[in-house]
Structure 1
Amino acid sequence: MVTAGPYLLALAVFSACAAAQPHGKHARVHGRHARALKERDMVTELTTVWTTIQSTPTSYPLPTDYSPEVKDIKVDTPAPTRAPKKDDKKDDKKDDKKKDTSGSNTSNTSKGTDSGGGTDREFQDGAIPCSKFPSDYGAVPLTWHTKDGWSGLQYNGGNIDNDGVCKEGALCSYACPAGFSKAQWPSDQPASGESHGGLLCKNGFLTLTRPDCKYLCEPGAGGITVKNELSEVVSVCRTDYPGSENMVVPLQCAPGTEKVLTTPDADSPTAYKWKGGATSAQYYVNNAGVSVKEGCLWGKEGGEVGNWAPYIFGAGKKGGKIWISVSKNPNNSKPANYNVEIVGGVGGKKCECIKGVCQDGGAGCTVTVEPGEKAYYRLW
């Protein structure tokens, strides 16, 4: 059923006004963001789809030269910092192997598609040098984006992605495997509405910003996939949120494959909230034939990659139901080189974009997926 619900997805952001006030150049680049909306009723017509919004934003991208406030970063509980002993790494891996083979430590791998990538390993807080990317704990390095693979680096009121290294006092963000979201961000978020996320480099070592959560990646809701029926790769790029909000977190969909699309679970008590409101994931989806290295980045104005990619997907779980959407990116007026259809969901009615022309005059559509059900984005 093409429907809407009390949850703000990417569709709501682009078909109407977002719930966040624009900031600086961000407002000039993406002028569609405006004041918060009051709740609207849905018009249940195939060509007119409204979304009920309750002041909950998705991830809003920022230009690379924007400088969010990152001073005086605070962590809930002071994390211990110590120099690792020579035998720490060896002993730690031995313990983890025991947990993996016994199946006793499965609480962090019940969903998603991680295959032994370390998402089930408790992070060694304050023991890993800031110069070492924590891939042993599930984090996925983006070596084409920054020197050490970080998805975003926030420091002293600015973005230091160009430096590419996690230095003292910086928040160092990272990507997670398909099906998982970043689990680390400080609870003390800026009043400006921008977001902070990642590990903190403190006394030369990587420190958890949510010490009560011992993992770097946590599973989202399952059941949503992207099925590529094309003859070329399609790069689906999630915004790094909370954090620098770069659209760099990659999901590479090779021809003939079906990949899990990470769907944040806003019903989880550990889910990230923006000013008390639930959040979902936003994806910029490039034309077929564009690699993740070419497409999962900030694009140039008038281009067709990154924040100028032709399609935008939204995904999230709220109130026990999953809400997924597809819309045309208003930044890009050119037709896409393939079609998108959401298959599944309540009622099974059409929700599609044909060569970039989406329903509701281009605003797109939202589909509800009931608990236990599945749905997928068909790329054809």
Structure 2
Amino acid sequence: MYPKSALNSLALLLAAQQCTASSSAHKRHGSHMAMHEKVAKRSATKCKLPSDAGLYKVPGGLNGGFALSPDQECTSGSYCPIACPSGQVMAQWDPDSSYVYPQSMNGGLLCGDDGVASKPFPKKPYCVDGTDTVYIVNKCGSPASFCQTVLPGNEAMLIPTIASAGGKAKLAVPDASYWASTAAHYYINPPGVGSEGCIWGDNTKAVGNWAPYVAGANTVANGDTYVKIGWNPIFQFEGAGLEKTLPSFGLEIKCPNGGCNGLPCSIDPNDGLGAVNSGQAASGAGGSSFCVVTVSKGSTANIVLTSGDQLDVDNQAFYDHVNHIEADLDLYFYYDEHHLNYHVHHHVHHHNYHLHHDFHDYLHHVVNYNHIVNLYCREDHHFLYPHLQSPQDYCLGLPDPPQRQRRCLFGERN
């Protein structure tokens, strides 16, 4: 289960994402547009996006580069959301707004009767850096786009973060001072789809709000960051046939320097529609499964995109690495009331050897957290590397949770 201190933050992170992904949100999107159309009818004065602010210009016919849908205009008396560069979050919104419609629409700049879009907080910049805690790592052969929803705003997925093929990109993660303490929410397009896929689309193509996966992240007051990945319920349950073709890529949250709770947390489409690899997987309001990782203050997490073929290659690379380790490993399984974790402690006879991160990641990947609290080695306290792929076959159940630590010795392969 998740820490009690995290529940409020998780509720905001998960509820907002699932609402955006739901069909009711699609209907609400239409009402958002209608409100802006009424405003436009009252006044013909239009505002322009500041040209010297370093903002991302959202493409569209009428939006003028603001983070509005293509058929929306920024007109006098209305708030017009802005799209910040990758890694940054919006720092301007209606000071009196709250997470209640229609106030939740009031993000960005205030369009005046003089046609000038001004800052509600004059002394603050247009955008500020996020917490630099979550990154995209794209191991696929084509660029990948994460589409951030506009909030406060119409919650359309218009703001792209692009990770080049084999590259890395920083996601915008807000801290607790962000509007209504909300999280950033993303729709994850298939590799090969760029910023053009950050749209409110339709069920003819698995992009934008019909993309197969979603993600979310926010940093809370104590410095911890919550990162979520999951299936998009619109894709899974309302795909009108889209769901019959499973995604060609998977997701996995990895923490290169440790400091994370909730691993493993991954999605491999080869496991089937809606499957999530996590001992703490849960279902959201839209009915789709997700998992959440807590990233401790000072640590970072990567959302790794990998194609189906590369998933197999990576596992083989881990296995090959295991076969060549000339070391004895002491594994300690540890359980507490809030997290189901294990901590790896190791030593090497006659060598000052440090365990390779890939092998550590492999252990996270192959050991199902549902089993960890009940694992200990078979009676001879020894099994071999070839059995790592199914360690539960070589272990017996712990008598009860109070026996919280057991030692398992992993011997070398014969």
| TM-score (normalizing by structure 1) | 0.63
Q: Deviations over 1:144-173 (max 9, x none)?
A: 4755211117xxxxxxx415x433223222
User: C-alpha distance in 2, partners of 1:376/1:287?
Assistant: 17
Summarize the Cα distance change of 1:190–1:348 in structure 2 as closer, same or farther, 3 Å threshold.
closer
Summarize the Cα distance change of 1:193–1:201 in structure 2 as closer, same or farther, 3 Å threshold.
closer
8 Å CA contact 2:47–2:111 kept in 1: the answer is no
8 Å CA contact 1:11–1:366 kept in 2: the answer is no
Q: What secondary structure sits across from 1:136 in the alignment? A: coil
Aligned to 1:340: 251
Residue number among 225, 228, 235 corresponding to 2:135 in the alignment: 225
Residue number among 244, 252, 255 corresponding to 2:165 in the alignment: 255
8 Å CA contact 2:261–2:294 kept in 1: the answer is no
Moved over 4 A (4+): 1-4, 67-73, 144-147
User: C-alpha distance in 1, partners of 2:206/2:185?
Assistant: 17
Q: Deviations over 1:319-357 (max 9, x none)?
A: 320000100001113222101000015257311000263
User: C-alpha distance in 1, partners of 2:185/2:21?
Assistant: 18
User: C-alpha distance in 1, partners of 2:203/2:12?
Assistant: 20
Residue number among 328, 338, 354 corresponding to 2:268 in the alignment: 354
Structure 1 or 2: larger helix share? 2
Q: What secondary structure sits across from 2:234 in the alignment? A: coil
8 Å CA contact 1:11–1:314 kept in 2: the answer is yes
Q: What secondary structure sits across from 1:235 in the alignment? A: strand
The alpha carbon displacement at 1:300 in A equals 0.8
Aligned to 1:143: 59
Residue number among 117, 120, 132 corresponding to 1:209 in the alignment: 120
1:343 is aligned with what amino acid?
K
Matched, 1:187 2:187: no
Aligned to 1:156: none
Residue number among 149, 153, 163 corresponding to 1:239 in the alignment: 149
Q: Which has the higher contact order (CA 8 A, sep 6+)?
A: 1
1:316 is aligned with what amino acid?
N
2:186 is aligned with what amino acid?
Y
1:352 is aligned with what amino acid?
S
| TM-score (normalizing by structure 2) | 0.58
2:29 is aligned with what amino acid?
P
Summarize the Cα distance change of 1:187–1:229 in structure 2 as closer, same or farther, 3 Å threshold.
same
2:15 is aligned with what amino acid?
V
User: C-alpha distance in 2, partners of 1:369/1:376?
Assistant: 10
Summarize the Cα distance change of 1:11–1:172 in structure 2 as closer, same or farther, 3 Å threshold.
closer
- Describe how 1:72-87 pairs up with structure 2 within 5 A: none
Unmatched runs of 5 consecutive residues or more in structure 2: 40-44, 237-242, 283-287, 307-414
Matched, 1:299 2:265: no
8 Å CA contact 1:180–1:219 kept in 2: the answer is yes
Aligned to 1:172: 80
The alpha carbon displacement at 1:378 in A equals 0.6
Matched, 1:368 2:327: no
The alpha carbon displacement at 1:245 in A equals 1.4
User: C-alpha distance in 2, partners of 1:286/1:3?
Assistant: 31
Residue number among 281, 293, 306 corresponding to 2:184 in the alignment: 281
User: C-alpha distance in 2, partners of 1:336/1:14?
Assistant: 24
The alpha carbon displacement at 1:306 in A equals 1.0
Unmatched runs of 5 consecutive residues or more in structure 1: 32-59, 74-128, 154-160
Q: What secondary structure sits across from 2:15 in the alignment? A: helix
User: C-alpha distance in 1, partners of 2:194/2:250?
Assistant: 18
Aligned to 1:272: 179
The alpha carbon displacement at 1:303 in A equals 3.7
User: C-alpha distance in 2, partners of 1:245/1:71?
Assistant: 17
Q: What secondary structure sits across from 1:13 in the alignment? A: helix
User: What percent identity do the matched residue pairs reach?
Assistant: 30
The alpha carbon displacement at 1:252 in A equals 1.4
- Describe how 1:57-72 pairs up with structure 2 within 5 A: 62-64=28-30, 66-67=32-33
User: C-alpha distance in 2, partners of 1:67/1:2?
Assistant: 37
User: C-alpha distance in 2, partners of 1:148/1:181?
Assistant: 20
8 Å CA contact 1:69–1:190 kept in 2: the answer is no
User: C-alpha distance in 2, partners of 1:180/1:133?
Assistant: 18
8 Å CA contact 2:254–2:301 kept in 1: the answer is yes
8 Å CA contact 2:49–2:117 kept in 1: the answer is no
2:213 is aligned with what amino acid?
Y
Q: What secondary structure sits across from 2:29 in the alignment? A: coil
User: C-alpha distance in 2, partners of 1:166/1:12?
Assistant: 30
Aligned to 2:210: 308
Q: Deviations over 1:236-262 (max 9, x none)?
A: 000011012111011112201100011
User: C-alpha distance in 2, partners of 1:72/1:323?
Assistant: 38
Aligned to 2:345: none
User: C-alpha distance in 1, partners of 2:99/2:47?
Assistant: 30
8 Å CA contact 1:2–1:351 kept in 2: the answer is no
The alpha carbon displacement at 1:30 in A equals 3.7
Aligned to 1:162: 71
Q: Deviations over 1:193-228 (max 9, x none)?
A: 3411111111221211233x4311012211210000
Summarize the Cα distance change of 1:207–1:328 in structure 2 as closer, same or farther, 3 Å threshold.
same
8 Å CA contact 2:138–2:163 kept in 1: the answer is yes
